[in-house]
Amino acid sequence: MMAENMTNRALFTPGHFGCPGCGAALAMKYALETLGSDTIVVMPAGCWSTLIGIYPYSCLTVPVISVAFETTAATAAGIKAGLEIQGNDHTTVLAWAGDGGTFDIGFQALSGAAERNDDILYICYDNEAYMNTGIQRSSATPAGGWTTTTPASALKPQKKKNIMNIMAAHGVPYAATASISDPQDLAAKLQKAMTIKGTRFIHLYASCPTGWRHAPELSIDVARMAVQSRVFPLYEIIDGETWHISPMPEKTPIAAYLKAQGRFKALNPERTAAFQCSVDNEWENLLKKSQAA
Amino acid sequence: MKKVMMGTEAAALAAKLARVQVVSAYPITPQTVIVEELADIIGRGELAAKYINVESEHSAMASCIGASASGARTFTATSSQGLALMHEVLHYAANGRFPIVMANANRALTPPWNLYCDHTDSLSQRDTGWIQYYCSDVQDVLDAILIAYRVAEIVSLPVMINLDAFYLTHTSELLDVPEQDAVDRFLPPFRPVFKLDTDDPKTFGNVCGSDLYTSIKFKHQQDTLAATAVWNKMADAFADQFGRRHPAVAPYRTEDAELVIIGIGTATGAIRLAVDRLREEGIAAGSLGLSMVRPFPYADVLSALENTRHVMVVDRDVSFGAEGILAQEVKAGLFDRGTDCRFHGFIAGIGGNDISSDGIIQLARQALTGKEETSKTGNSFWTEVLP
Amino acid sequence: MQSKKTIQCLADLPVMPTTLDTMAWNKTGAWRFLTPVARNKIPPCRQGCPAGTPVPDFINALKQNGENGALEIILAHNPLPGLTGRLCYHPCQTKCVRRDLDEGVSIQRIERYLADCGDFQPPAADPGKAGCVTVVGAGPLGLSCAYFLGLQGVTVKVTDAGTRAGGALLDIAPEKLDPGVLEKEIDRLVAAGRLELSLGTETPAAALAEMADQSDMVILDPTAGNGAVAAPESAVSFNPFDDEAPAGNVVAPTLPDNLIPFKAPMIAHYIGAGRRVARLVAACLSGESFASQEAANSPDQPVTAEQIRLDRFRAEQSAETSPRKRQVEWTREQVMAAADRCLSCGTCNLCEQCVISCPDTSILKNPAGTGVCVDLYHCKGCGICAYECPRGVITMEEINE
């Protein structure tokens, strides 16, 4: 239908339960466009395991297994081992988990798989909270971000966990950030990932109008603003050592990004300044690492 | 071929003979030898399999599920805390109808820490839907794993082969080891009912409404209940080929018994010795080794207890707030039939305490005379309790 | 779309909980409050063009179908692109939205190239049955009027006292307008409009009445230059910009002050005026009201520069993006490079940003490949397509179905 490498059947079909404007839905659509039909998806509890459809129906026409919350990377490793021992080394095993299932409850399994360098492609679609269960905080929620368990009376003090640093520390062959606002960048990164064996990790920014409290038509634009203001810069890490930023963001100030989202309504000027400061510092660190090559 | 080996070595050998394709390995005493042996067997190329050094038992079972879902024959092993950690995923494996076989070394749960024989670990998982088999000796460990794969792949359910910590895991016996080609004749390659297949894409296990869920579970229960007959049938086929019997229940001198003693695991050996000695004393004793606890072999159990007046159950486990788990199960079966048996529940051998034939005899006498010589709490009499 | 495989009895249940079908049966379109409507809008360039030429349309056609398709679109609005492509003061370029990004698009150069290099096949000769009109004077307005009447099926005869057609155009210096180009343009116009051109024909005022008897209407071209015929007293002057239907059958369209005398840079205005006259006359001949005809033909809403998402386009680094203006002839390469810079304001050019950005795959290229269409059964009305369209084609509207 759209991309040249789509096979005969549409891999992502309409009628799913995603909210209007769902960033996670876009994320999967983009991923499958590049990965193609020779893909098996391992999907834990999360927005996707609900929006995919209701038994016995599913909006995806690739094989999908809906697994227990913590087990994404472990199940994926098992599938890959099973395929390989049966002589299949071409099918992509895609671990597809949200931020909760990656940063928190699924973290151990991810670390285990990464340490073993299991040959799986792990994509974390990050909407920065436990959205499926009603917008509760995860360790991926940014500091000051409203959620139901970090309400205005008790906003989250901790910064967003830096999952990319952690994956780099595991020395995985390929890790990259990507965003639903830059589908071509994501496609290129997935193409690259598909040529590499071992644990490949993509941290994919997926806006959520319902949880972030922005108008549904702004889903892509909010992600775009996140990238351009360096809240969520796009970069790659090769073998845990070489950092490469691409493309270089425009460095717009974060005000427009924050203003578009109701979840940052409670940020007073002091917190906003702290937010900008934090973004600037992280950017400097990233820049240093990319220049160290 | 005859060979001396421990229960854990036998389990590893059985996995090799079964030509498992993926092994998930996480160590826990006293199962460790199983995963160690398999690492070497696979490393040396004696078994063409993938070996995943997982980072926890929860992930061990998860990766088994993944491997099984991809169409591979899968094996893992654990014990006690590890089994408890797997609990969530045990449900998944059974609800998902994956024919995984797992060896579980029955060991006590903590705190306090205790590495020795106790059945609470696996019996407290009886509701997860796994077929559960309890080995009586090391030969049983080897043979039951082979039968287990055959059964699992027919009924599409996972099977837990339980072996007593140390009494089987670390006890050596002389075994009859079948040849690989003989095992191949008994156990054909895995032909999955369903697998994750890019040529026939389906979504597995997504959100389901209450109506269909009920029917799915009904069918699951139907299939699980039918597994006893399948086990017995495959055990018969195994016996035809190899000459050794491993039925769901092992009755011993129950036809005219007035007292039947029920137990599982290695205790069944001591119980049979006790039965013989009681018979010498003129007491019409018999025993029933429950090899299979899930599905609960109601028919086989009730037929063994048909003529008896005393049923004595030896539980090497406790369900806190109730009583011994086997006691509960047997009582439920007896109630359905209607009975005027006297029932005696004993808790013995937990935390690794020895169950000897002497001990069984004493408990039997207590049951028959009604003299309460051991500690009692709730419905059960306990042995080895401080005064 | 609505049917699905279902599970009716236990026997239908697979052993493992695996799916049977997709979710396509699920009418998520019922969730919608607003519906995306993809409708081309009039871009600023076209708003500024006195001839109303749809600029992005012909530029897109050039890129997708080549010169001939593009020329065909221009000729539907402007029969003399070789002239406007050389003489016009190009208000389109002044309004070009790209100026806010880096530099405007060289629309005139593209038009000129298409006029010079495009191949146009005139339709087979087929006498129009919508009436019969004589245009006295072969100046730009007269020719334009004749042409547009011809396109609407009117049989038109153009007469001029001069030996060459062109009227006031003949006064333009050859350095500004090559006579060969002028001839070629008029030849094409005559062929395309299926006109009968009668040159060297004097029309004294007295002959007008007879002419009027033989035709349904006689139109006196105010841009006929030396070939102009003075309007007799019986002739009715009318202002085509007042939307009045001409009364009487010898009519003399009048021009506003800023178009008198003939000014070459204003050529597009004369062409546009000629078309207005043709439309009014055709309406008169057919008995339909001009207003209802225009309503049927008129394109939609305009789109403003503010509605174009300039942030979605990349400004080009070098300021020297267009070839030097002094260069007489542009190469095809230069023209295509210029065409690439068009933002296609208000005009769908199948960039497919909407298709790409839909989380429900509910807006798609239409089967004809001419634009996009919405899957109303599934579209949830999130509005991303409208927001992401960089050229203002899609709007979210309340539609009661």
Q: Is the pLDDT of residue B97 over 70?
A: yes
Query: Percent of chain B at pLDDT above 70?
Result: 100
A71/B89 CB distance under 8 A: yes
Q: Nearest 5°: phi and psi at B107?
A: -140, 150
Lowest mean pLDDT among A32-36, A92-96, B180-184, C117-121: C117-121
Tell whether C23 is within 8 A of chain B (Cβ).
no
Pick from B97, B206, B218: CB nearest C16: B97
Pick from B194, B204, B219: CB nearest C10: B219
Nearest-Cα distance to chain A for C69, in Å, is 25
Q: pLDDT tens digits for B287-321? A: 999 999 999 999 999 999 998 999 999 999 999 99
Alpha helices in chain B (DSSP H): 7-17, 32-43, 57-69, 80-95, 120-123, 138-155, 180-186, 210-225, 227-242, 267-280, 298-304, 325-337, 357-369
Chain A, chain C: beta-carbon pairs less than 8 Å apart: 107
Q: Residue B271's pLDDT band (boundaries 50, 70, 90)?
A: very high
Q: pLDDT tens digits for C290-312? A: 776 676 666 579 999 999 999 99
- Give exposure, B292-312, as e/b (b: 16+ Cβ within 10 Å): bbbbbbbebbeebbeebebbb
- Give exposure, A188-216, as e/b (b: 16+ Cβ within 10 Å): bbbeebeeeebbbbbbbbbbbbbbbebbb
CA–CA separation, C222 vs C168, rounded Å?
9
CA distances from A240 to A100, A174, A236, A237 (A): 23, 7, 9, 6
Pick from A39, A58, A82: CB nearest B67: A82
* Residues in chain C within 8 Å Cβ distance of A13: 22-24, 361
Over residues B107-119, mean pLDDT: 97
- Per-residue model confidence (pLDDT) at position C231: 76
Using left for φ > 0, alpha for ψ between -120 and 50, and beta otherwise, residue B80 falls in left
Over residues B193-206, mean pLDDT: 96
Q: Is the pLDDT of residue C87 over 90?
A: yes
How much is the mean pLDDT over chain C?
Answer: 90
**Cα–Cα nearest to C64, from C378, C347, C390:** C347
Residue B44, classified by CB atoms within 10 Å of its CB into exposed (0-12), middle (13-18) or buried (19+), is: exposed
Q: Dig out the tokens for C109 from the structure.
A: 């150069």
* Residues in chain C within 8 Å Cβ distance of B203: 18-19
- Per-residue model confidence (pLDDT) at position B167: 97
Nearest-Cα distance to chain C for B385, in Å, is 47
Q: Is the pLDDT of residue B26 over 80?
A: yes
Nearest-Cα distance to chain B for C30, in Å, is 21
Q: Dig out the tokens for B116 from the structure.
A: 């020795």
Tell whether C24 is within 8 A of chain B (Cβ).
no
Q: Residue C226's pLDDT band (boundaries 50, 70, 90)?
A: confident
Q: Residue B197's pLDDT band (boundaries 50, 70, 90)?
A: very high
Number of Cβ atoms within 10 Å of the Cβ of C342: 26
Residues of B with CB under 8 A from a CB of C: 95-97, 156, 193-194, 202-206, 208, 212, 215-216, 218-219, 223
Q: Which residues of chain A carry a pLDDT beneath 50?
A: 1-8
Classify A125 as helix, strand or coil. strand
Q: What is the DSSP letter of B195?
A: -
A15/C25 CB distance under 8 A: yes
Cβ contact B278:B285 at 8 Å: yes
- Per-residue model confidence (pLDDT) at position A1: 31
Pick from C7, C10, C18: CB nearest B204: C18
Q: pLDDT tens digits for B60-81? A: 999 999 999 999 999 999 999 9
B156/C15 CB distance under 8 A: yes
Neighbouring residues of B65: CB distance < 8 A, sequence distance ≥ 6? A67, A71, A75, A78, B89, B92, B93, B96, B98, B100
Q: Nearest 5°: phi and psi at B114?
A: -150, 120
Q: Dig out the tokens for C76 from the structure.
A: 């539907």
Over residues B40-51, mean pLDDT: 98
Q: Which residues pair with A130 in a beta bridge?
A: A136
**Cα–Cα nearest to B61, from C244, C126, A67:** A67
Number of Cβ atoms within 10 Å of the Cβ of C362: 25
Q: Tell me the pairing of strands B292-294 and B131-134.
A: antiparallel
Q: What is the DSSP letter of C302?
A: B
* Residues in chain A within 8 Å Cβ distance of C384: 21, 216-217, 219-220
Pick from A40, A73, A112: CB nearest B198: A40
Tell whether C18 is within 8 A of chain B (Cβ).
yes
Residues of B with CB under 8 A from a CB of A: 21-22, 24, 48-50, 52-56, 58-60, 62-72, 74, 88-89, 92, 196-198, 200-209, 212
Over residues B100-124, mean pLDDT: 97
* Residues in chain C within 8 Å Cβ distance of B219: 10, 13, 15
Angle, nearest 10°, between helix axes B32-43 and B7-17?
40
Over residues B110-117, mean pLDDT: 96
Q: Which amino acid is at B38?
A: L
Q: Residue B243's pLDDT band (boundaries 50, 70, 90)?
A: very high
Number of H helices, E strands in chain C: 14, 10
3-state secondary structure B269-327: HHHHHHHHHHHHCCCCEEEEEECEEECCCHHHHHHHCCCCCEEEEEECCCCCCCCCHHH
B218/C16 CB distance under 8 A: no
Helix (H) or strand (E) holding B381: strand B380-382
Residue of B nearest to A42 (CA): B66
Chain A, chain B: beta-carbon pairs less than 8 Å apart: 165
* Residues in chain B within 8 Å Cβ distance of C19: 202-204, 206
Instruction: Tell me whether the omega of the peptide bond preceding residue C36 falls within 30 degrees of 0, making it cis.
Output: no
CA–CA separation, A159 vs A231, rounded Å?
12
Q: Which of the residues C5, C8, C18 would you substitute to probe the B interface, choosing the one with the greatest number of B C-beta atoms within 10 Å?
A: C18
Q: Is the pLDDT of residue C321 over 60?
A: no
Nearest-Cα distance to chain B for A62, in Å, is 5
CA–CA separation, C74 vs C53, rounded Å?
6
Q: Tell me the pairing of strands B375-377 and B380-382.
A: antiparallel
Lowest mean pLDDT among B137-151, C146-160, C240-254: C240-254
Q: Residue C248's pLDDT band (boundaries 50, 70, 90)?
A: confident
B65/A67 CB distance under 8 A: yes
* Residues in chain C within 8 Å Cβ distance of A1: 361, 364
Cβ contact C382:A18 at 8 Å: no
CA–CA separation, C30 vs B39, rounded Å?
57
Q: pLDDT tens digits for C24-50? A: 999 999 999 999 999 999 999 999 999
Handedness of CA C251, C257, C259, C263 (dihedral sign): positive
Higher pLDDT, C329 or B26: B26
Cβ contact A181:A227 at 8 Å: yes
**Cα–Cα nearest to B67, from A28, A67, A106, C13:** A67
Nearest-Cα distance to chain C for B158, in Å, is 13
Over residues C128-145, mean pLDDT: 91
Classify A144 as helix, strand or coil. coil
- Per-residue model confidence (pLDDT) at position A5: 35
Q: Is the pLDDT of residue C318 over 60?
A: no
C16/B223 CB distance under 8 A: no
Higher pLDDT, C240 or B65: B65
Q: pLDDT tens digits for A137-173? A: 999 999 999 999 999 999 999 999 999 999 999 999 9
Q: Dig out the tokens for C121 from the structure.
A: 């096949």
Residue C226, classified by CB atoms within 10 Å of its CB into exposed (0-12), middle (13-18) or buried (19+), is: middle
Residue of B nearest to A49 (CA): B206
Q: Which of the residues B198, B202, B210, B219 would you substitute to probe the A interface, choosing the one with the greatest number of A C-beta atoms within 10 Å?
A: B198
CA–CA separation, B316 vs B265, rounded Å?
9
ipTM topping 0.90: yes
Q: Dig out the tokens for B353 from the structure.
A: 């305490």
Q: Residue C317's pLDDT band (boundaries 50, 70, 90)?
A: low
A82/B62 CB distance under 8 A: no
Over residues C7-13, mean pLDDT: 93
CA–CA separation, B233 vs C119, rounded Å?
85
